[in-house]
Each structure stands twice: as C-alpha cells, then as structure tokens.
Structure 1
Amino acid sequence: MQTDKVLLEILNNRFSAIVNEMGYIVYRTGFTVFVKETQDYGVGLVAPTGELFAYPQEVGVANMLGMPMEDAIATIPEYRPGDVIITNDPYTTGGMCTHLPDIHLYKPFFYKGELICFLWDFIHSSDVGGLVPGSIAPSAYDIYQEGLIIPPRKLYREGKLDQELLDMILANCRIPEQNWGDLKALLAALNTGERRLTEVIERYGVETVKQGITDLLAYGEQSARAIIADIPDGTYTFSDYVEGDVTTQIPLRIKLALTVQGSDMYLDFTGTDPQIRAAFNVPTFGKTHHWLTVGLVTFLRTKNPSIPLNKGILRPVHTTVPSGTLLNPVPPASCGIRYATAIRVIDVTFGALSQAIDDVVPAAGAGQVAIVLISMPDYQSGGYKVSVLQPMQGGSGGRPVKDGIDGGDFSAGFLRNIPTEMLEADIPILVHKYMFPDDTLPAGQFRGGLGVDFRFQVFTPHCIVTARGMERHRFRPWGRKGGSAGTRALTKVNPGTEQEQNIGIIDILKLEPYDLVQIMTPCGGGYGDPLDRDPDKVLKDVEDEFITREAAESEYGVVIRNGRVDQAQTEALRHRLQTSRILKPFDYGSEREEYEWLWPPEVQD
C-alpha cells in the first residue's frame, strides 16, 4: 500500500461520513413506510472495478458489502457527467440486483473529465407491478410474474431527466407517487455524495484519493486474511433446508463445504438442490456474492470490529456454485423471495464455521424474516393502498457467552420495526398484539432469543396479505453444543374462534372484514448445556413468564421454592440429570431428524 496509514484512515473516515450522510438523506426523505421506518435501502461508493469501497455502519441494510457491480457498469458503453442509471434486473446486471422490487440507481463521479468512481443507492419498492400487490409471491414461477423488469438504462442523461422512461416505469406499478418520491430521495443522496466527494478531492488531491481507494480495498483484504489464517486448515461441511416452496412442499437443501487453506477460504455449494419454479432462487452468477457471504462478513466483523467495510475483505474468499441450482439459477427463474434462501446460507455458513472455531459462532437464529404486506382498494383515489405491516423477525441463536437476542436475528437485525401508531395511521387496521410469546424459550446455557407474536385485524373488504420469507414452519433452528433446538413458526386466521384456520406459510391470503391474523415467529436455538445455566437467570426467565417452573426443573435442573432458587435441591437434581442424557453437538429437532431418517443426506447427495 502506497498511502500513509494515517492518511488512509482519514480518507476511510471521510468516505464513511459521505455514505452515512447519503443514508440519512434517504431515511429522512423517503416516501414509503418500508423505506422511512424499516430502512430497507442501501448506499455506497463503488470503485471503477465494481467493488464497494465505502459502506455505512449506521443506516440502511447491512448485507450488501459483496454486491457485484462490474457487469452492470459494463452494460453502459459510455458514461458522462450527470448520467444516472436505473435498474432492477438481476440477469443483465450479473447479480447486482437480486429481485425486482429493489430499484438501484448509480451515478458516475467525474473530476475534471476523469471517471473516479461511482455513487450507488437502492430502495426496496413496495410495488413494481406483477402478479400481486407488493410484487412478491412464493408461487411466482418465473421472473415475468414478479413485476416490471428494468435493464440498466439512463434515467438522467448529462443531468436531463428521461421523462418517457420514468413515465413507463411509474405506469407499471400500483403506487407511482410513492415510488417517484422514493426515487427522488435516492437522487438527492447521490447528488449530495457527489458534492462531498468533490470536497475530499479538492482537499487531498485527485491522485491521493484514487490511490486511497485502491489501498483501502487492499487493506480490507489484508485484514480479512489475518482472521482467516487463524482458522484451522480443513474442510467443514454443513447443510440445512429452505421450506417455503408452496408449490411442492418439498424442503430444499443447501449444502456447503467450507475449506480453509492458509489465508484463503473456499465456499463450495455443490450438492445444493436445483433451481425451482417458485420465487426462492438466488441469482448470484456463481460469484463471491453478498447473498453467499453475509454470514462470513458477520464473522469477520465479530472477530475484528474495526475491519474496514469494503469489498476487499472478500478477496480471500472463493466460491463454487453449480449453474442451474437454487443459488445460481438460469433465466427466467423467479427470485422475489431470494432472501429466505440467503438466510439459510447464513445458517449453513455458521454451522460450518462453528465446527472450525466454536467460541464465536452462535446457534441458529430464527432463520427467517417475513416481510408481511397488505393491500386493499382505495375507494377515494380509485387505486390501491399498499403497505408493509412489519418485517417479522424471530430470536437470534444463543451465543457462546450470551443469551440470544429477543425479537431480532443477526441475519436481518438491520430491519427496524414499524411503530404501531405509524402503521395504524398509514393503513386501516388494528394491531391487537405485538409482543414476545410466553412459555416458548429454547433451553441452553445461553438460551435462544424469543420470537414475536403479532396479531392484527382488518376491516376493509378485499384485503390481500402476502408475505415473503416465512420459514421454519417445519424444521426448527438448530441448537449448538447441548442447547436445544428453537421453536417453529405459525400463522393463523381468527385464532381461538370457531373460524380458526392454521394457514402455514402465506402465499396470497384473502381476508374478509373483521378477520384477525396471528403471525408467530421462531425462537432461536440454545447454546451450551442447560444444566450449566446460572440458576438466577433461570429464575428470572420464570419470573418473566418465558418458561414455566416445571420447565425450569426438567430442562435446567433448577428447583424454585417460594420465589427463590433452592440451591441444595438444584445441585442434587442437576447431578441426577447429568447422568441420564447425551448432549448433541447439533440439535436439529425431531422434525428434521425424522425427515432425514426417511431421506438420509447420502441419498440426497
């Protein structure tokens, strides 16, 4: 690296400040609830090679660091100052976009006629047309059913808006005003980032900034290699399942062989199931892609919290993903719910890594984030009201030194919940409950995090609810090193009444006025032997009604009398329990064990 270390840190901080400011502009000026409350958007600075060299820590989504942009950049034969490119097309951008609701903008940054880098941002649109309101349905069997496809095109040419292109885009969605409002928020962020980059160049010089970009990516690579080199060499295998294919009901296996050789890591997904005619495919093009490396990036950031946030940290990582599989589909595979599959990739990455280095990696979290969306006729405007209700996460897995996080998982913790008051003001529904469930806590020395119980009622005729990413209705999140498996999700309509229906995974749910919907998300798996849990923590869980007194005795060996831990009886009970059980390195739950008894992994191979 040619840049002085102090100057390199200064440049890194300046770039970080720019992307954080860009992110806050989108947050403050976005139109749709899913952008301004949940923060499903991203911003960044991109080198001419297509690598992100600056990414925010504080705002927006946290999982786009490995985004491949080189193919998208190459689709435009010539860039000029003032150009802004718009796209949402996974297949012409080489996996930069991964489903149609994510609308990306990027802008070339020139200084005195020289291309220095690109500014980039995206939002998740609440609707881009297609089969259903919200544009995402599990049963969509090709990408054409999922909405308008926008290959990379210049929305602005040398600063002038292409009004015809914009009109065409907005004419093909159900919420044109909101989408244009969100796009203007993205444009404002790009323009601000452009001004701030100019200030940095005028302060430090163009050659210094260009070299700084190169050296920051090299520094990221160097930092990642130092962490990988500490992992014992070897190959570590793991597999898990995606359940959401509502068309066949057959679990989809993701298999990973993670190999460490010195400071290089190889992720081989050979053995993963073929692509399907449903919306769970992930268009990665076999690259070292962000949806294949989220778990690894999380691991690297945990081992070194000060590691630079740029794509250089993924240069030591090499991927093998057979074409035509769930993780590398060929067109026109649908991909609206690719994140459900990507979350399971996180789980298999953690499962493999935990065999190599087990003092950092947690048990499996809820393994899902169900983006629940509601639409209904707007009788005043003659159009539709479309809104995301909540990003429904579950609990994280128990950690090697701490309990799991309640109501939030590492795979989607960046998604903020929508305040109930804001939700009820935005759409005519009534929220009955949004809380942690009782008596569901997965056991472990460090317990799994709690899921969420969300119940809402509708009053308008012709309401439709869709949900992308509902998972773990069949197989539980796995526990680790003696910890128990987590809980399963459930979805019901009108629970506790004569009209109760157990819905399972939602595809397209049509509701009548006054119907009430319950969505309960999974708890994460436990970590470590429950008999090693601090008895006072078990008592606190009983007091909080997370577990019963009976569970405290049967699972934790803790005897509670008159609101206190009976130390003598607890020691005696724990001694008896320790001699009568076998701890599992992974507890998958009886449901997966029964399935793999019928379909052993060697048969699936």
Structure 2
Amino acid sequence: MSEETAARPTATTDEGPGRTAFGPADAITVEVIRQSLIGVVQEMQNSLFCTGYSTIIRESKDASCAIADLAGRVVAQYTVLPLHLGAFPETIENILRAYPVEEMRDGDAFLVNHPYYGGSPHATDMAVVAPVVVDGEVFGFSGSIAHKSDIGGLVPGTNSSQAREIYHEGLMVPPVRYHRGFAPSPEVETLLRANSRTPHLVLGDLRGQVGATHLAADRVRALCAKYGKDTLHTASGRLLDLTEQRIRAAVAEWPDGRYTGTRLLHSEGMADGRPVAIRVAVTIGGDRVAFDFTGSDDQMTGPYNIRPPLVRAVCSYALKCLVDPEMPSNSGFFQAITASFRPGSLLDPLPPAPVNTYMPVAVATAEALFDAFGKALTAGRIAESSSGTNGTFSYRLPGASSPKVQYELPAGAMGARWNKDGVSASKVHVANGSLTPIEVLETEFPVRVERFELVTDSGGPGRHRGGLGYLREYRVLAPARFTTRNGRELTPPAGKDGGLPGRPSVLTVNPGTDREAAITVESGSVTLAPGDVVRVCQAGGGGYGDPRTRPVEQVVADVREGYVSPESARTHYGVALVRTSADTWEADPRQTARLRAPAAD
C-alpha cells in the first residue's frame, strides 16, 4: 500500500469541534502545509518591503524572512538571499543561549546583528526574531534579516575596506530582547539612535521587521487552529526530511569520487593585492556528499572573511542549482551534507576578524564549488562571474543634523555556461536583490544619473559569451563623500575551456576631464564637490569555449545589439563585418572563412 493511500485524512478527530484530523504523514497535507508556510513567508516579505523606510529595503530588497521550528531549523524561506538559510539557525541558536524558551512570551521580539555572537553575515544585517506562541507555549519562530543604511563604523554606510577588526564595523548587538508585550525597549532604541548616522531609517526598518514577524506568528497560529498543532509540527519535520531525501536521491546518481575546485580572489585591498585562494574538495560516495574547505587560505586582515554557517548555505545553493532550482529552501539541505573548515581561514575566521565584505567571498566559494562539481557533472560547468564592485555616497545638506547615505547593491555579470551565454548586469550566484531605480535615486538624493548602460566588449569572448557588466555615471549635486568597499578586480573573471576573461571593473572620478582619477581602495573615501562625476564600470563574466566556434550569426547579432564591437568580432571571434546600405552590420563570408581557417602547422 502506498504512503499516500495509507495516510488519508480520517473522518473523526479529537482535536476539537470543527477540525478535520489529518494523518501526520499524509503527503497531500504535507504539501498543503508547505505551500501555506511559503505563502506566509511571502506575505512577511511583502509587508517588510512595503513598510521599509530605506531604499535598501524598499528598492534593493536586501532582506529575507523565514519560519523556523523550536530547534531553530528553517522550515520555510522564500529565497531572496540564499545565505540567510544558514544565518537564521545560527541566530536563533544564539538567542536561545541568552534567553531560555520558557521565558519567552507572545509579543516578544529579539534583536541581534553580531557576526560571531549571533549569525548575521555582517553587522549591517540586523536580525529580528519573534517566538510563535500557540496555546501558551512557544511553537517555533518567525524572523527576518535586513540590511541597515548605517550603524556607525569608520565610514558612512558602515562597511569599510579599511576595517581590520569587527569593532571597526559599527555597533555590535548580541542577542537582546527588543520588544516585550508588543512594545519596543526605549533603552535599545536609544542605543541604536546614538550609534547611527541615519537613525530614523534604522528604527523605521526595524519596526517593519518586527511587524512582519508578528504577522507570521498570527498566520502560523491560524494554521495550527486549522490543522492541529501536532499535525503542523509533524508536517514541518517531514518537509525537512523530504528535502534531505531528494538531495540524497540525486547525489546517489552522480559519479562517486573526490573532486577539487579552486577560485582565486584578486582585488584591491585584499592581502596587499595578492591573490587569495578558496579551495574545496567535494567527495561523493553513494547518497552522501561532503565538502572540505580546510585547504583555503588564511583569514584576511581586511574584511574579506565569511563564517561557516554562511558557507554551508553556499553549499546548499550549489546543490539546489544542480538538483532542482524549484526545490523549497529549508534546513533539510543541511541534513544531507557535511562540511569541514579550518579555524583561522577566510571561511572560518577567528574573532575579531572583520567580515563586512563577505559577499565576494561567498560568490567565489560558489564558483569553487562549481569548479569541483563541473568535473563530475556537465550541469556544473560555468565560467567565472563578477559579483560587482561597491560604493556608497553620503551627502551633508545645509541645516541637516545627519547625512543622507546612498547605499546601493551592485550587480555584476554571470559567466557563460557550458550551453548558453552569461547573464548581463545581474546579481550572481548567492548574491541577490535589485538595482535601485534611477528615478528613486534622483528623488531621494542630491544626485543625477547621467549614464546607465551595458559596457560593450565587457563580456568574455567564447563559444558562449560572458554576460556584460554595466556602467553608471553619477553627478553629485551637493557636497558628498564616496567610499568604495572592494575596489577593482585586479584579475578579471576567468573564462573556461578556451573562453576568455571578462573585462575588469573600473572606478573613476571626473572621467574625460583634466581632473580624471582612479578611485581605489587605498585612496579610501573621495571628497566630491557639486558637479563632480563618479563612474562605476562593472566587470563582465568570463566566456565559455573557443570564441571562434561561436556561430557567425550570433556574433553578428551581438555586434548589432552593441554587445560586441566590430573590432572584437574580428580579433576574438574571427568574424569580419561590413556595413551594408541599410546601415547595419553583415558578415563578410570570405574574410571570415580566412580568419577562422586553422593555423598552418
């Protein structure tokens, strides 16, 4: 007899009048509850994004929400930021160390942003977690993690390339009770207000987070009333088991072996300009997969470090890509894997190592994983991507008591895959979120965006072309300060299997004038006068495969669209182009055949 047949809902119940009893292993009920929980998390995120005070929440959507069980395992997360799948359990675990569950009440909300005594990726990501109380007992937790515009630190926007310890990275909050009886703690808010350059935005966004957690608590209580608390609890555990089983079933079909992968990080401000290596060994045996990161380089003196809970989330992301991108995001992934680290490495830093520029390391970790998986699975083969270089503007307006901080999430470009081109002007791998619309920037800040366009030839040439980076030029209309966190990539994203690298990122102040200068990490913050221009030119992704095997018609289409220049078409792709009477580009068959002819021995 099948599981579905054996566990049909029964006709009677002892859970109270008006309720229908469901078998705890009923496959239909489990799926209905899964979809219901995902709907609750989506409603949380809609609430958070609609009530956000800062552009970081409203426009960039640098936040995510989750529902967790009593042990802190994530039962539902509607993925915005995949790394938070690892951050939530660590955050809840640390809250439970500080506050016994028996002391928690409905209307409580806890605040934490400490990377080592909490679970946040970096201090500007503040977590708010509330207990879900059902029938007088804590049933589970609802929570959100959201980036803040400024919580102190060395520079406006908090995150500085010059940080050498976490104490340079702004206010560190270990787990504290922020709300009790649905009312905020005046003392906590006083401390937050005193340590931020943008206190009204920080407190406004936090209140939205609290509201989202209480909204989720109400929705989960309603589900308990509908299906029964025990059924919901059993179904939640079953969801994690199903995810684990699905991962193991897929892994069992993969070839056994030990596969190694490496990704070099080479950016300004990192290790005095030396390349830094992330190394992983992926061991597949039967239905088990293990990740060994112990060969990675030592932790950085600067902020290019990331903690193990987030690295485990990167492993989950890679598996989700390879197994089924539509799989639910929950802690079942962690039940299916093991991961080992070396304390003191950049993937397991020792406090007080700074961590504010963790995202490029996370993206590079994903690429090291795909470098390893690609040796076993065709689906894992992809050229390197650009995660985007970052910068923050701050403006001091006349009569204002605090600066206006313009923080944007950058986008880079996806490297080409084994079977298709990369994606242009896109967040890549575990990075996510949205670019802030120009209209919003120009409405909220004294700035004018004069150019926003894809950069011709920035995508690495290949049989499949790398995604293009983008360019934005900002003209400031008030005295300003610009700070870059990760600067330029000194080695651009590499191509794969004969593909060429993408073009590296460049930051420039007042381009095309006699005052033109490169903006580097070493230069720190750049002071800007009204009328000055900052150009941010993002790197492109690497290409995949020999460029001279790219179909001619695709190269011609790229030139017509402005993705590839005629010069690059000839030099890299071996395609000669001519202008026609219709003022468009066409391939010259004879010259192209000569350019693509095999070289004589």
TM (norm. structure 1) is 0.89
Contact 1:223–1:307 (CA under 8 A) maintained in structure 2: no
Q: Secondary structure at the match of 2:563?
A: coil
Contact 2:70–2:140 (CA under 8 A) maintained in structure 1: yes
Quick one: which of 60, 63, 78 aligns to 1:38?
Answer: 60
Equivalent positions of 1:566-585 (< 5 A) are 566-567=588-589, 569-571=591-593, 573-576=595-598
Quick one: which of 240, 249, 255 aligns to 1:232?
Answer: 255
Q: Residue 521 and residue 248 in structure 1: after superposition, are their counterparts in 2 closer, same or farther (change >3 A)?
A: same
Quick one: which of 381, 388, 396 aligns to 2:400?
Answer: 381
**Deviation per residue, 1:541-585 (Å, 9 max, x gap):** 1112222333223322333344333446544543425x77xxxxx
Contact 2:427–2:433 (CA under 8 A) maintained in structure 1: no
- Partners of 2:276 and 2:594 lie apart in 1 by 45
- Partners of 1:65 and 1:547 lie apart in 2 by 38
Structure 1 window deviating more from structure 2 (203-212 vs 334-343): it is 334-343
Which residue pairs with 1:486 in the alignment? Answer: 502
| Residue 277 of structure 2 is aligned to residue 253 of structure 1 | yes
Q: Secondary structure at the match of 2:143?
A: strand
**Deviation per residue, 1:316-343 (Å, 9 max, x gap):** 2211111111111111111111112112
| Residue 313 of structure 2 is aligned to residue 268 of structure 1 | no
Contact 1:137–1:508 (CA under 8 A) maintained in structure 2: no
Which residue pairs with 1:164 in the alignment? Answer: 187
Quick one: which of 53, 74, 78 aligns to 2:75?
Answer: 53
Report the Cα offset of residue 411 of structure 1.
Answer: 2.5
| Residue 110 of structure 2 is aligned to residue 85 of structure 1 | yes
TM (norm. structure 2) is 0.90
Contact 1:301–1:307 (CA under 8 A) maintained in structure 2: no
Which residue pairs with 2:383 in the alignment? Answer: 363
Contact 2:555–2:569 (CA under 8 A) maintained in structure 1: yes
Which residue pairs with 1:24 in the alignment? Answer: 46
Larger radius of gyration: 2
Which residue pairs with 1:426 in the alignment? Answer: 444
Which amino acid is the alignment partner of residue 90 of structure 1? P
Contact 2:413–2:540 (CA under 8 A) maintained in structure 1: yes
Which residue pairs with 1:279 in the alignment? Answer: 303
Equivalent positions of 1:144-183 (< 5 A) are 144-183=167-206
- Partners of 2:76 and 2:138 lie apart in 1 by 17
Contact 2:85–2:331 (CA under 8 A) maintained in structure 1: yes
Report the Cα offset of residue 475 of structure 1.
Answer: 0.9
Report the Cα offset of residue 412 of structure 1.
Answer: 5.5
Report the Cα offset of residue 432 of structure 1.
Answer: 1.6
Which amino acid is the alignment partner of residue 375 of structure 1? S
Q: Secondary structure at the match of 1:306?
A: coil
| Residue 32 of structure 2 is aligned to residue 10 of structure 1 | yes
Quick one: which of 395, 415, 418 aligns to 1:400?
Answer: 418
**Deviation per residue, 1:152-199 (Å, 9 max, x gap):** 010112433221122112211111111111011111111111111111
Q: Residue 360 and residue 278 in structure 1: after superposition, are their counterparts in 2 closer, same or farther (change >3 A)?
A: closer
Q: Secondary structure at the match of 1:391?
A: coil
Report the Cα offset of residue 491 of structure 1.
Answer: 1.0
**Deviation per residue, 1:451-478 (Å, 9 max, x gap):** 01111122323x221233445x211212
Which amino acid is the alignment partner of residue 526 of structure 1? G
**Deviation per residue, 1:479-508 (Å, 9 max, x gap):** 122211222111111112211112234742
Cα root mean square deviation, aligned: 2.0
Contact 2:457–2:503 (CA under 8 A) maintained in structure 1: no
- Partners of 1:382 and 1:309 lie apart in 2 by 43
Which amino acid is the alignment partner of residue 530 of structure 1? P
Quick one: which of 101, 104, 112 aligns to 2:135?
Answer: 112
Which amino acid is the alignment partner of residue 121 of structure 1? S
- Partners of 1:89 and 1:50 lie apart in 2 by 17
Structure 1 window deviating more from structure 2 (5-14 vs 497-506): it is 497-506
Which residue pairs with 1:602 in the alignment? Answer: none
- Partners of 1:412 and 1:312 lie apart in 2 by 18
- Percent identity for Structure 1 against Structure 2: 29
- Partners of 1:169 and 1:328 lie apart in 2 by 29
Q: Secondary structure at the match of 2:375?
A: helix
Which residue pairs with 1:135 in the alignment? Answer: 158
Structure 1 window deviating more from structure 2 (555-564 vs 324-333): it is 555-564
Contact 1:339–1:469 (CA under 8 A) maintained in structure 2: no
Structure 1 window deviating more from structure 2 (432-441 vs 290-299): it is 290-299
Q: Secondary structure at the match of 1:423?
A: helix
Which amino acid is the alignment partner of residue 264 of structure 1? R
Report the Cα offset of residue 299 of structure 1.
Answer: 4.2
